[in-house]
């Protein structure tokens, strides 16, 4: 049952990833009807048929090109679908809401029941990380973080944290203040040249979502990843030291690292400090 459920969760994630690609495009182009209007090719503007909208498979079978005009389709579409599918699966494995229940008639058989408390937490995190993946790719593509993604995510993070007790209110408050303040200080000192206003709101989101301890882990992870990737890109001649680099993707990746491995990282750090 877990294998079937995992496959279903992965497929759901790819569908959400495909939907996020549409959201990103329509936010940038300021199109109306973000949710309900039909998808179309960004090049020839033709409405896409269902067979062109199957996550991952359509991109592969079409060879990464539009089925109408044969223009190249950006690889970020399939990347977002695969990453979201994998992310949903990782969250499911961490918050498996299915519990085995013995069959009353035949004790050799078993079926699954839903632990609704765990299911609610699972839904909360997939919603939050869907917003974060939207922020990841929007910033990667356009070097900005739209309030239409970060602000609703902050509201949901606060509501979810309070209702589901994923993070204590005090931890949430301290985390939000620390990360927002950290980026606000950089913004003020550099007069907005080091980071943008979107990074402030993303910092607040991460702090509220993870709390201050895991939030700091996310922050440190983001800076380490950013530094390493920047060195690689400079060596390869892709960027220079004066190039503007989107930091949102690193913050989102750091958030994912803290979410999945924060407890182990924190335990390792505390054990090392004690020794």
As a whole number of angstroms, the distance between CA 21 and CA 145 comes to 15
Which of the four pLDDT bands, split at 50, 70 and 90, describes residue 109? Answer: very low
pTM reported for the whole predicted model: 0.89
Tens of pLDDT, residue by residue over 181-213, are: 999 999 898 887 788 888 999 999 999 999 999
Cα(84)–Cα(80) distance, rounded to whole angstroms? 6
What span, in angstroms and rounded, lies between the C-alpha atoms of 268 and 260?
Answer: 14
Q: Given this model, what pLDDT does residue 184 score?
A: 93
3-state SS class at 234: helix
What is the sign, positive or negative, of the torsion defined by CA atoms of 38, 43, 49, 51?
A: negative
pLDDT reported for residue 117: 92
Closest-CA residue to 206 (of 146, 135, 144, 273): 135
Beta bridge partners of 110: 102
- pLDDT in the model for residue 122: 96
What whole-number percentage of the chain has pLDDT above 90? 56
- The residue to which tokens 């990782």 are assigned: 90
The closest alpha carbon to 161, from 150, 170, 151, belongs to 170
pLDDT greater than 80 at residue 34: no
Report yes or no: 54 and 65 within 8 Å, Cβ to Cβ.
no
Residue 21: which residues within 8 A CB-CB, separation 6 or more?
Answer: 76, 77, 80, 81, 137
- Going by pLDDT thresholds of 50, 70 and 90, the confidence category of residue 1 is low
pLDDT category of residue 107 using cuts at 50, 70 and 90: very low
Tokens of 83: 């990453």
Q: Map out the domains of the chain as residue ranges.
A: 139-275
What's the mean pLDDT when you consider all of the chain? Answer: 87
Please say if the pLDDT value at position 120 is more than 90. yes
């Amino acid at each position: 049952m877990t294998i079937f459920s995992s496959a279903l969760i992965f497929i759901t994630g790819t569908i959400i990833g495909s939907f996020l690609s549409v959201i990103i495009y329509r936010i940038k182009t300021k199109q109306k009807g973000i949710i309900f209007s039909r998808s179309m090719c960004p090049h020839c503007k033709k409405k896409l048929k269902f067979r062109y909208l199957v996550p991952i498979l359509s991109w592969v079978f079409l060879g990464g090109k539009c089925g109408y005009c044969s223009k190249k389709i950006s690889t970020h579409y399939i990347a977002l679908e695969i990453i979201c599918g994998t992310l949903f699966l990782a969250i499911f494995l961490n918050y498996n809401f299915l519990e085995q229940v013995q069959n009353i008639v035949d004790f050799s058989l078993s079926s699954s029941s839903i632990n609704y408390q765990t299911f609610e937490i699972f839904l909360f995190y997939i919603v939050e990380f869907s917003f974060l993946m939207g922020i990841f790719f929007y910033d990667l593509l356009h070097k900005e973080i739209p309030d239409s993604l970060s602000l609703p995510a902050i509201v949901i993070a606060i509501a979810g944290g309070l209702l589901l007790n994923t993070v204590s209110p005090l931890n949430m408050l301290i985390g939000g203040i620390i990360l927002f303040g950290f980026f606000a200080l950089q913004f003020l000192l550099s007069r907005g040249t080091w980071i943008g206003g979107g990074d402030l709101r993303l910092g607040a989101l991460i702090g509220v979502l993870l709390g201050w301890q895991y939030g700091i882990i996310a922050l440190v992870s983001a800076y380490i990843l950013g530094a390493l990737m920047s060195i690689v890109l400079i060596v390869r001649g892709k960027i220079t030291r004066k190039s503007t680099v989107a930091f949102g993707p690193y913050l989102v990746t750091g958030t994912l690292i803290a979410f999945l491995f924060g407890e182990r990282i924190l335990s390792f750090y505390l054990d090392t400090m004690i020794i």
